[in-house]
Amino acid sequence: MMSRRYLSAPAAGLAMLTAAFSAAPAPADMLVDNVDGITLGEEGEVIRFVALRVDDDGKVAEIFERGDDLPRDVDYRLDGEGRTMAPGFIDSHLHVMGIGFGALTLDLSQTASLDEALAAIARFAEENPSRPWILGGGWNQEQWGLGRFPTAAELDAVVPDRPVYLTRVDGHAGWANSRALERAAITAKTADPDGGRIERLANGQPSGVFVDAAETLVTRHIPAPRPAERDLALSEAQKLLHAQGVTAAADMGTSIEDWQAYRRAGDAGTLTLRIMAYAGGVEAMDIIAGSNPTPWLYDDRLRLNGVKLYLDGALGSRGAWLKEPYADDADNTGLPLLDPAQLRNRMSRAAIGNFQLAIHAIGDAANAEVLSAVRELQETYTGDRRWRVEHAQVVDPSELSQFGELGLIASMQPVHQTSDRVMAEARLGPQRLDGAYAWRTIAENGATLALGSDAPVERPDPLTGMAVAISRVDDAGEPFGGWRPDETIERERAFAGYTMNGAYAGFAEGRFGRLLPGERADFVLLDVDPLMANERNLRDAEVAETWVGGKLVYRRDSQ
């Protein structure tokens, strides 16, 4: 009998978790066996395996197929208990610090009444005595059956000592207490700003609710987070993402403050998420990275790849830039946020330093403009550029093929389709839906489809993303048979979108995204096989364990 040292949960799991979050060296070599292993190969083909050896640098040393002899002399053996082992998921579009700060603020979205909300606010304030402001969101007076907005006085009754500011579920209004009004010096004399409204009591005093542009009257007084809060937010974001099986992510709109938090974690050995960062504009790009993208730092855990630019807004607020007016707003086509010269100037400024471009384009006019700009710029900026279009939600059907012709990365978020469906039909009318959320057509035209969540806008859950990608139905199974089901994609394509394509989209192929020898041993253990499971099973599945660079970063049973 050979000696086998199995790790048994939860005791060993906790010990490993501790190790994973310290700066300790990676464990010595390890064999993970008794798994149904899946990965995509060099050519994107599915490879199945039964065991995987991790070397002492935390990289994949070997994978073993059924019938192979397994090595006997390894330092650790991990029993996969028959689970599916897959590459750690890559989310190609999210906001790391937004996820983290969201986790640190109060979520009122599940409250059913004003009283319930006030109790939650009081409890949160009590549990967070050192927070100078109480911040949160998700409230909805309709859900409470209140029939009116809540008031500052109601908030004062539960938090009299500190300013409070809570955003409405749609982000279009905020609810403040009297301390917040004092800080902002808002009185009965304060006028409504353009594009905004201060809700008022019968006596003309501000009631405590601020709509649209009036929100900034208060929000500009909320102090910027301290570095320690940023560090905490990053830590929370990592935990949340690892619990969803996410081991790497493209961070869209990185600021210098965000970047410094990532570096602090990297320097301290607590950076467990692989972050492919896209600076929030060219100034942020300059100060973060200098003249060129940074090297891969911290054993492939951090790189400033390029820059995120916004070309338009979103459909919901009719900010997406369309070729023809909105179906539900005949005078409005939305607006570009950059004129053609500004867009090309910023793209050139990035491309000259070999920074990658990631351009937010939602409306068909915005997507057409990106296609045109890339076509022009690639004459000058040749080579392997991997121009990214973020969202690519509504594309003129006649232009869909250009995504492939130009070799673009289409960075798309499946769950936006189910969340947006009813709104998108209203905004666009039936004519333009052929080019909306057109995953299959874009992929079959030869573009690289990199999938993500846009978290914290949606939950960063790749299994649900895959469920939607293969079905185009929402959590309630609606609409039956899927919305415009021609644009569903195959399981393998969805899986690639959350693994190897996400790596390619961030110039990380060969580093992570597949479980092939030489790549980082980033993997998940799952109770479902994403290449076999149906939509419902994928949506309901949970991640059992998440490993990054051969170190455990999440175990369900130890939470």
Cβ contact 108:117 at 8 Å? yes
Which CB, 270 or 372, lies closer to a second copy? 270
Residue from 22, 187, 291, 431 in contact with a second copy (CB under 8 A): 291
How many other CB atoms are found less than 10 A from the CB of residue 417?
23
Lateral strand order in the sheet of 51-54: 60-64, 51-54, 30-33, 76-79
Which CB, 288 or 359, lies closer to a second copy? 288
Which CB, 162 or 349, lies closer to a second copy? 349
- The tokens describing 469, both together, are 């990608």
Q: Which residues, 6 or more positions from 57, have their beta carbon under 8 angstroms from its beta carbon?
A: 26, 299, 550
Residue from 260, 401, 419, 537 in contact with a second copy (CB under 8 A): 260
Q: Which of residues 363-382 bind a second copy (CB under 8 A)?
A: none
Q: Does 342 bind a second copy (CB under 8 A)?
A: no
Residue from 211, 256, 337, 406 in contact with a second copy (CB under 8 A): 256
DSSP assignment, residue 480? T
Q: Does 297 bind a second copy (CB under 8 A)?
A: yes
Of 65-73, 212-220, 261-269, 440-448, which segment contacts a second copy by CB under 8 A?
261-269
Of 10-18, 294-302, 376-384, 419-427, which segment contacts a second copy by CB under 8 A?
294-302
Cβ contact 234:97 at 8 Å? yes
Q: How far is the CB of 231 from a second copy (least distance, A)?
A: 6
Give the per-residue contact string, 483-502, with a second copy (x = CB under 8 A; - = no): --------------------
Of 549, 547, 550, 551, the C-alpha closest to 243 is 547
Peptide bond into 460 cis (omega under 30): no
Which CB, 354 or 558, lies closer to a second copy? 354
Which CB, 44 or 227, lies closer to a second copy? 227
Q: How far is the CB of 116 from a second copy (least distance, A)?
A: 36
Residue 557 CB burial class (10 angstroms; 0-12, 13-18, ≥19): exposed
Q: Does 267 bind a second copy (CB under 8 A)?
A: yes
Q: Does 287 bind a second copy (CB under 8 A)?
A: yes
Which CB, 299 or 399, lies closer to a second copy? 299
Q: How far is the CB of 298 from a second copy (least distance, A)?
A: 10
Which CB, 57 or 79, lies closer to a second copy? 57
Q: Which of residues 209-248 bind a second copy (CB under 8 A)?
A: 226-228, 230-231
Of 30-38, 52-60, 75-83, 284-292, which segment contacts a second copy by CB under 8 A?
284-292
Which CB, 289 or 533, lies closer to a second copy? 289
Peptide bond into 479 cis (omega under 30): yes
Pairing of strands 89-94, 46-49: unpaired
Q: How far is the CB of 103 from a second copy (least distance, A)?
A: 19
Q: Does 311 bind a second copy (CB under 8 A)?
A: no
Helix axis angle, 462-471 relative to 414-428, nearest 10°?
A: 50
Q: Does 481 bind a second copy (CB under 8 A)?
A: no
- Read off φ and ψ for residue 430, nearest 5 degrees: -70, -30
Of 176-184, 287-295, 422-430, 440-448, which segment contacts a second copy by CB under 8 A?
287-295
How far apart CA 86 and CA 443 sit, in angstroms, is 22
Residue from 268, 423, 426, 532 in contact with a second copy (CB under 8 A): 268
Residue from 65, 68, 126, 257 in contact with a second copy (CB under 8 A): 257
Peptide bond into 132 cis (omega under 30): no
Q: How far apart are the first and last CA of the chain?
A: 34
Which CB, 291 or 534, lies closer to a second copy? 291
Tell me the torsion sign for CA atoms 441, 444, 447, 452: positive
Which CB, 288 or 451, lies closer to a second copy? 288
Tell me the torsion sign for CA atoms 226, 229, 233, 239: positive
Q: Does 104 bind a second copy (CB under 8 A)?
A: no
Q: How far is the CB of 288 from a second copy (least distance, A)?
A: 7
DSSP 278-300: EEESHHHHHHHHTTSPPPPBTTT
Of 370, 523, 513, the C-alpha closest to 447 is 370
- Read off φ and ψ for residue 252, nearest 5 degrees: -100, 115
Q: Does 130 bind a second copy (CB under 8 A)?
A: no
Which CB, 346 or 539, lies closer to a second copy? 346
Q: How far is the CB of 353 from a second copy (least distance, A)?
A: 9
How far apart CA 28 and CA 56 sit, in angstroms, is 4
Q: Which residues, 6 or more positions from 394, have their beta carbon under 8 angstroms from its beta carbon?
A: 315, 320, 322, 362, 363, 364, 367, 424, 428, 432, 435, 436
Residue from 290, 446, 485, 518 in contact with a second copy (CB under 8 A): 290
Residue from 48, 172, 200, 263 in contact with a second copy (CB under 8 A): 263
Residue 220 CB burial class (10 angstroms; 0-12, 13-18, ≥19): exposed
Residue from 145, 295, 383, 430 in contact with a second copy (CB under 8 A): 295
Residue 422 CB burial class (10 angstroms; 0-12, 13-18, ≥19): exposed
Which CB, 258 or 369, lies closer to a second copy? 258
Cβ contact 544:9 at 8 Å? no
Of 121-129, 252-260, 307-315, 325-333, which segment contacts a second copy by CB under 8 A?
252-260
Q: Does 288 bind a second copy (CB under 8 A)?
A: yes
**Which residue ranges make up the site for a second copy (CB under 8 A)?**
226-228, 230-231, 256-257, 260-261, 263-264, 267-268, 286-291, 294-295, 297
